[in-house]
Amino acid sequence: MEGLDNAGPRPGTAKRPTGRLAGDPLRSMRALKRWVRLGAYGAICAEWPLYYLVLDYPIRQVVSSWVFGMVVATVAIEFAFAQGYRLRKQGIYPAMLAVELGATHDFDQACERTVRLAAKLLAVEKVVLALSVHHDGQLTTMATHGIPTEEVPLATPLPWCQQLVKQAIEKRKVVVTSAAEARAWLSTPDGRGRVVYVPLLSLDRFVGLLVLVGGRKASDLRDKSLLTTIGLAVGLTLDNLRHSTELHEVATHDELTQLFSRRYLFQRLEKELKAARRSGRPLGLLIMDVDSLKLINDTYGHNVGDAVLANLGKMLAKRVRGDDIPARIGGDEFAVLMPNTDKRRAFATATRLEKALQTKPIYKLHGLELKLSVSCGVAGYPWSGEDIVEIVQWADANMYGMKATRKEHTQPATTATQERHFRSPKASR
């Protein structure tokens, strides 16, 4: 539905609406209404000759009958189709929102799409989507439409402490108020619009609030049944998508460091290696092992050791490229998969990460400053091997070679020493 996509900027690479939802969802009913009008008005006009010529009615009575017939037909048609539109919208709008949001696998993009679709379908000027993302019940702003982010910043608590809003949350019912009674960021230019608070429910559980602000054209804001159904559809869809996203995060990420997991890294390594073979592009793999984690745990406790690993994960996430994939693949072992990275750039990345750890403390608390020493091994396609096993073996061998050198020498290795250990046996033939 191209019209819906024009309601606001598209963040990221959100999936386009599906083809079966293209066009005006009420187009068939609008066409039927035009044909009913044409038939009814034509029949009324065709009675003129009957009344005037055959039945010999006075012209004034004929005109009166014509006017009366037109008024009755218009009122009847408008009332009948208003009810038809209402029932049609209650069936179509929630289904459209559920299908469109279900086709968007990214939760943040689904929130953005929710406010844009709601603004387009309901002809409202402003939309705020706030979800209960924590167990304390506080609502957090996830997406807005028609409201500058400086007025209602995202990822911040929604200023919702109003009696009507509490009523919508506690009673699970749609609450309507005038724009004049709402806060400044929910007002309309003329001050005559409506502000509607729609609770989002997942079955019987409250998951969020959809705030809609519209003027006179937003006639659907008077239909509480429609808005209630939309709240159920959006709440259930977003809640399921959020749980799916959380499960995916658990399956693909390490809980302590928030980096990718070992399983995900090797899945991506297999995928990226196939792509590298097809395209002829290089692929780099860096494996990193913390040299002194056991000593840190024994000296300062496992809480400090966990904090060191968590800080190391944050450092890796900040210092790798956007296309690189940092992961924790063991207790004190990390890896970085580097697509489209040749041998020289892979070595440079390893050297850069080692120097960053040597120059900056990884942990500071109550006067305690800890710097971290790591051993890195670099391998890649095509210079180290042609398959996953060979590439990983060379990276491990280089990493353990660096660790052995560290044990022999108390001082950090130089760049020349790194180059000697990073170089794979295949490259030195």
**Domain total for the chain?**
2
| Amino acid found at 12 | G
Q: Are 313 and 184 in the same domain?
A: no
Q: Give the phi and the psi of residue 291 in degrees, each rounded to 5.
A: -75, -35
In a domain, 427, yes or no: no
Nearest to 179 by CA among 161, 160, 193: 193
Q: Are 18 and 64 in the same domain?
A: yes
Q: Is the pTM of this model over 0.95?
A: no
pLDDT at 167: 80
Return per-residue pLDDT of the chain as tens, 429 residues: 333 333 333 333 334 444 344 456 667 767 777 888 787 777 777 776 766 665 666 777 767 777 877 788 788 877 776 666 676 677 778 888 888 887 887 888 899 999 999 998 888 989 989 888 766 567 888 898 988 777 777 766 665 556 777 788 888 889 888 766 656 667 666 667 788 899 999 888 889 999 999 887 788 888 888 899 999 999 999 998 888 887 877 888 888 999 999 999 999 999 999 999 999 999 999 999 998 888 888 888 999 999 999 999 999 999 898 889 999 998 899 999 999 999 999 999 999 998 888 888 888 887 788 888 888 999 999 998 889 999 999 999 988 888 787 666 544 333 333 333 333 334 433
pLDDT at 411: 43
Q: Are 29 and 80 in the same domain?
A: yes
pLDDT at 54: 58
In a domain, 221, yes or no: yes
* Count of residues in the chain: 429
Omega within 30 of 0 (cis) for the link into 199: no
Q: Are 295 and 377 in the same domain?
A: yes
pLDDT at 416: 34
Other Cβ atoms within 10 Å of 91 Cβ, number: 13
In a domain, 429, yes or no: no
* CB-based contact 370:381 (threshold 8 Å): no
In a domain, 114, yes or no: yes
pLDDT at 231: 92
Structure tokens at 233: 């559809």
Q: Are 175 and 314 in the same domain?
A: no
In a domain, 211, yes or no: yes
pLDDT at 7: 37
| Amino acid found at 256 | L
Q: Are 266 and 240 in the same domain?
A: no
pLDDT at 56: 64
Structure tokens at 354: 């080692």
Q: Are 168 and 144 in the same domain?
A: yes
CATH number assigned to the domain comprising residue 235: 3.30.450.40
Q: Are 185 and 276 in the same domain?
A: no
**How far apart are alpha carbons 397 and 414 in whole angstroms?**
18
Q: Are 28 and 162 in the same domain?
A: yes
Q: Are 184 and 118 in the same domain?
A: yes
Q: Is 154 exposed, middle or buried (0-12, 13-18, 19+ CB in 10 A)?
A: middle
Helices (H) and strands (E) in the chain, counts: 12, 11
SS3 261: coil
pLDDT at 185: 64
pLDDT at 33: 74
Strand pairing of 175-178 and 194-202? antiparallel
pLDDT at 12: 37
Tell which of 248, 271, 288 closes a domain.
248
* CB-based contact 320:406 (threshold 8 Å): no
> Dihedral angle at the C-alpha atoms of 203, 206, 210, 211, nearest 10 degrees?
140
Helix axes 415-422, 343-359, angle to 10 degrees: 130
Q: Residue 27 sits in which domain range?
A: 2-248
Q: Are 331 and 182 in the same domain?
A: no
CATH number assigned to the domain comprising residue 364: 3.30.70.270
Q: Are 29 and 132 in the same domain?
A: yes
Alpha-helical runs (H) found in 180-301: 224-252, 262-279, 293-300
- Cα(first)–Cα(last) distance of the chain, in Å? 60
In a domain, 70, yes or no: yes
Tell which of 195, 222, 248 closes a domain.
248
In a domain, 34, yes or no: yes
Q: H or E stretch including 327?
A: strand 325-328
Q: Which residue in the block uniquely carries the two structure tokens 């729609």?
A: 198
